Structure 1
């Protein structure tokens, strides 16, 4: 028999959830925009700072400790995502890394080449590649969104990905609808024509186990603040590509991977915090190795979030005034729900929840602007989005249901 999810242990691990006599506790339903930080991550940042900070490659203790911290962070990420430590590069955030990589790929793109992006994605996995195409005279093609299933329409994939295709960029899962994309199918088509395959895993990593080695992905991008850590981005680039990537860098900076993509001084304290975030996930799992413990921890998280998701989804589907943008049964999804309320501006609704229930619920287009336009949600101020994290509880969801029913009743005409 599976053990119950240790929700009280999990909640105790997040300082932001601790009750404070000076304020009413917040209910955090804004995980897709950024989770709360695990205490292990915050502690690791403070320890690094308080023991003395230094830049790299010195002979003195604080510099050596900084080198060791970064090396350990690469090793932790490698176990988390199943890649090599030398394939992990750190940067300001996923978006900045994507633009830097796009710039470095410019030498391999020629006029008339094709670059493929999707209508489902956050623009951080669209605009860097669209900008590259514009600069080089390449053609941009979109894998279209099926507005009925809120998933990518893969039936026309052979027409979208052709021998002229040089790069295909796809999100592993939508930060709006939660739809998990069939990247294996797209990857096989991209590889068949010799195209690079780029995956935005920012929204996927907090919810799905990742196996970079088995995925066949060339470039995978993610951000630690989406999985209980600080604001820092990561690019995992296959060594065979990374070695030949002609990055823009300062002349004295290292030429070897992964350092050559890491321009300037990195955010060392955030890198220390990244280790702590991964340690939190590891603490939920079992196994003989860190990789096994992390996989087990992610499986625990996914099972718990799926349980909570079923309760929310069935509830939202029963309310006539709600339009839920959710893929049908049988499609894998993350615990992320986007909806609109008939006759209501989404921002007004989220403000009401903040004022009356102390709930952090987001609204807008969430940078998935192509999908927002295609699905026609801007006249309502975009979507209302509730996204779960492993520190959310059934009681919190009960309060959300109560509040939503109260809000809709008050706004019926």
Structure 2
């Protein structure tokens, strides 16, 4: 299939601003269809879920469409899909439910590569339950996960391994399936942070070996919320704290309070928009998503390689920390002798948005020994163009000169 980025961009009203967006890892721009879906559900007859009136049926339909869309996106049954306010909130909520069965002397494994949302909830849960914490490390010189530290971290006492499928800071995609297999071999569960991963490629949760997988639709053209995917029978084994009259049914037992039906409609619309990038003759939405992500990933990787070529021309004035063999189209830069925050402000004045900071990736930020100013992050998205690349490279050259 042909990837027509110019046609794709016509669906994004925000891109008329003229800003070249490299802030996708923090949240993408939103297509018109997503906003229209949100408005349609919110302004149509709408009540709590039920079957007595059209307003109740509309709410129920929004929930069903959300679960079906995320099922196709992630490769799990629809009743294994849980909505949450954010991936962070879902991780905190589920960590408390999962930790109810933990006992002192057992162990939890976390990674130095991860966003703090997949570190701190598990660190705190382990501390409360009296578990030992073990760490998986990565090599700051290459961005690759340290496989020796994986073997050293896993023992028969390991209860859970928390690992990112792609670093939001440097883009590294660790070998999740191999680590999941090793974790399962010692009887541990595997919690995968897929927030950055799901924004740049086709997701197959069972193939990853993840017991739990969280992602954030606002990283792939949708509204601000979180999604948890897991096998329904695994969710059945967990009993979160909840109100007495609220349902025990899965997945609703994890969704506290009334669902934001309009937000769910926006997520379903984002998935449909992504599927619409593909050949519409494909037999299923999941197959269309597979094709769409293949085309999108090829587009983003080509642009990433153009940026890398341009950065090499800047010599020692730029250090690139995104070096892993398998990585997303996200580049973290530092500028020796210069403040990346100053570079971000300089670029923003030229309508190029490339934020600087640590981006809540506290552990990898410290492991890379970056100063408090952080790094400059260039993240590509499906709507990124060659002109965007020219503008960010030109802006960096001007800043450094």
The 5 Å alignment of 1:9-408 reads: 9-18=7-16, 25-57=18-50, 59-286=52-279, 287-319=282-314, 320-328=316-324, 331-355=325-349, 357-379=350-372, 381-408=373-400
Deviations 1:77-96 (A, max 9, x none): 10111110000000100000
CA contact (8 A) 1:196 1:218 kept: yes
C-alpha separation in 2, matches of 1:318 and 1:25: 26
Q: Residue 58 of structure 1: CA displacement? A: 5.2
The Cα of 1:176 is off from its aligned counterpart by 1.1
* 1:5 corresponds to 2:3: yes
Maintained 8 Å contact 2:177/2:207: no
**Secondary structure of the corresponding residue to residue 145 of structure 1:** coil
Kindly provide the CA deviation profile for residues 277-312 of structure 1, in whole angstroms up to 9, marking residues without a partner as x: 001111111211111111111111001111111101
Structure 1's unaligned 5+ residue stretches are 19-23
TM-score (norm 2): 0.97
Q: Distance in 1 between matches of 2:182 and 2:206?
A: 18
Q: Secondary structure at the match of 1:384?
A: strand
Matched position secondary structure for 2:197: coil
Q: Is the 8 A contact 2:135 2:149 kept in 1?
A: no
- Work out the CA distance in 2 between the residues paired with 1:348 and 1:45: 37
Instruction: Tell me the equivalent position of 1:21.
Output: none
Aligned residues of 2:112 and 2:137 also touching (Cα < 8 A): yes
CA distance in 1, matches of 2:309, 2:173: 19
- Aligned residue pair count: 398
Contact 1:97/1:235, CA 8 A, preserved across alignment: yes
RMSD, matched Cα: 1.1
Contact persistence 2:102–2:159 (CA under 8 A) = yes
Deviation at 1:345, TM superposition (A): 1.4
CA distance in 2, matches of 1:137, 1:314: 49
Instruction: Tell me how far apart the structure 2 counterparts of residues 268 and 275 of structure 1 sit (CA, whole Å).
Output: 11
Shift of 1:49: 1.2
Q: CA deviation at 1:245?
A: 0.4
Unaligned runs of at least 5 residues, structure 2: none
SS at match of 1:158: helix
